[in-house]
Structure 1
Amino acid sequence: MTAAGLIIGAPRSGSGKTTITLGLQRALARRGLTVRGLKCGPDYIDPAFHAAATGAPSANLDSYAMPPGLLARIAGEAAAQADLVIAEGSMGLFDAVPGPAGRTGAGADIAAMTGWPVILVIDVSGAAQSAAAVALGCQAYDPRIRIAGVILNKVASARHERLVRQGMERIGLPVLGALPREASLILPERHLGLVQAGETADLHARLDGLADAVAAAIDLDAVLAAAATSQPTAAEGGDATPALPAPGRRVAIARDAAFSFIYPHVEAGWRAAGAELISFSPLADEAPPDTCDACWLPGGYPELHAGRIAGAGRFLDGLRRFAEARPVHGECGGYMVLGASLIDADGATHAMAGLLSVETSFAKRKMNLGYRRAVLEAGGPLGPAGATLTGHEFHYASIVTQGEDPPFATVTDPHGSAPAPAGSRRGLVTGSFFHAIATAEPV
């Protein structure tokens, strides 16, 4: 099958894209369609919700961090395995970083690449006909894309809805549905976004509630009619090279409530390259399996489980033994656990693995957010010295003491920042707050 696709976008963050995307995915899957979700931009959490809503895998599409061949492969694979692809945008539809045309990280780039129409979600609270001016601006801003219709969110009353619809009629943009302001449509959040799908209580009941609300308020047949098949360049071919080199043939991956941030396309690429991925749980005091030849500690929420990790003797001792002869890499939260200590939100200090000298704190919070290009300072599981990776940072933890270890990489951002050392390395152990998305193309 070759799916038609849609992108759910918005003029700004906080408009309701995620809840409406999930409601549409679930409602249409309940009709018997094979629905696949995708997420524009760097986001670990939303794809897991898409997978729960549809019963099928989800992945990311990132026009800044991913080379075109990887983007084509991910979009094409999703379209080939579904009746409908519903992709969720990131932030505002045109929000981007400096970069070549089509390579800026904007959701509009993905719409242009795939040819999938955009359904615009507009939070109309505090506006009536003026919402149409916003929609008209989105229509005119980027000639590469097509906006197929709008969904009105947070409608206050029937009168309010009539006034907003009058404005949309004036500009000729179809209104596909209107949802009232309803607190039950809100999913629980924490400091890095939504509480993870696996930790959300009554997740499937919540998703069914979203689907019921969407089915009652949105014309699902009109949504299906708005979808379009992918452009051939996005649905065919694509680069078969893994996004990142596999760190080993058998890779131990920490996976539980404290360690969960690993991109689906990265794992899929490793498997396609012949690697076997073996999960273990530090929170269950499990050590990395001795049968593996590399260990990967993803990001996640170790700061919420610092005491439990500090008391997981089998995990910490096993990790130290593993690192004596085999590579270990930690991203973000994994980096914090590889360090000497972690200070939690209450100011309590917890001893970590001590494989790197960095000391981190969640008590001293500062948001670090944005794309990065990282040039590796030494060879390791992610490539040889001098290899360049694209990725991002998103964390609130801060470094209290960097320690004496040399840096893992030198990083820059898309806004012209000066190259800066990042992360740590010692022996076969490496780590940083940088989340790798793909190997960068030669400049």
Structure 2
Amino acid sequence: MIKYKDIIGIGFGPANISLAITIEEKAPEMDVLFLESNQDIVWHPDAQFAGTDIQNHPLRDLVTPRNPKSHYSFTNFLKETGRLFKHLNLPLTYPLRKEYAQYIKWVGGHFYNKVQYNKRVINIDIVCENNIHKGYKVTTDDGRNYFSKAIVIAPGRTPYIPSVLEKASSKRIIHFNKLISTLSSLENEGNTPKNIAVIGGSQSAVEIILDLRNRYKNCTLHGITRSFGYRQKDASPFMGEVYFPEHCNFYFDANKKGKEELDRDLLFTNYSAADKDVVDSLYVQIYEESITENQRVFVVTNREIMQAEEINNRLKLTLINRYSNQIEELDFDLVIAATGFRNIGIDENQERVPPILDRISEHLDLDELGCIVIHRDYNLRTLSTIAENRPIMLNGLCEKSHGMGDAGSLSLVSLRSEIILNHVISKLQQGDPVSLPNRIELYS
């Protein structure tokens, strides 16, 4: 007889770690399991650049907005590690990224008995017995099967590399989320890059240029952006209310046109822009290089990439000026795409259905463009072949439905985890699902 978990969480990064906290504090009797593809808890390991911060208020951590008295707050982490007063004395607005990664690992470490590591999920199947939807079978890459009444998916967003770069099929083109590990491999092989391009106008692009400039003293760097220059983030406290929970409700209720207008209005609070401190630092460093006639960093603006091809172990980029139509070619050892991650949608930098859901996409009630539909409580809209009290929840990847504040930021993960848990509990309390017509026997 199959034993079903109440919840299986796919992925154990910040979103599902926050869910684990919420379950422990609100529903400890639930039988839950998390499956994580990595060997241990890691948070952006390839973006831990020296001196970089998280651009997020330290109290908007994995639990405090939901439960300020929790053991798992960032403040308590500092207290228990003996760093509270030293941290409070730092001349910083936001915590260092390296320290916040330690915080996330510290919290996650309290739940090792609820997590199995080195478990990459390759399939999610519907389980039907006697034409009744009983739950889900989750299969990992080692061939093991796990069964659950509800699924909470938090796999993180899919890295986006522009198609013009992907077409080159070159190992010399990487997404920035693989940067530090790639550089380590190249150094071990004796192939330290001497000429690097960083594509994009984001916070990550500027941080990467600053890091590489300090890391490699004999390396030439080109920052390539289609914009006029690196733009400063819109850091107005009025615009910062996009990270309030009330904005999620406001955005969710807006119609399609309203959402599009809000996205345009709020774009530079999070995308295609960088914080003032890193923009200023890069500008000063470039200026200093120019007056000492030792220019190593070049910013190439207003450029679109027309073509990328590998020739004689070099990556040649063909660029066109967006305004003069002048064409130029530049060669690099390594090209880093600081071009973000895919959201839900139909544009080139989006995806209709996250890859983890491909196997059961035929049971999802997609919209007219073939995209997943996410309800207010973060449950996916499904067809009648999925029982209502066997929910599939999406913990993250919800910017399309809930707005920018519910995207990659940590600001609302604690509140979202509570909404998800409450929804799952309310559905599971309805009891075993009744027999529904037209079911597909995927497992028996």
Q: TM-score, normalized by length of structure 2?
A: 0.28
Larger Rg over CA atoms: 2
Q: TM-score, normalized by length of structure 1?
A: 0.28
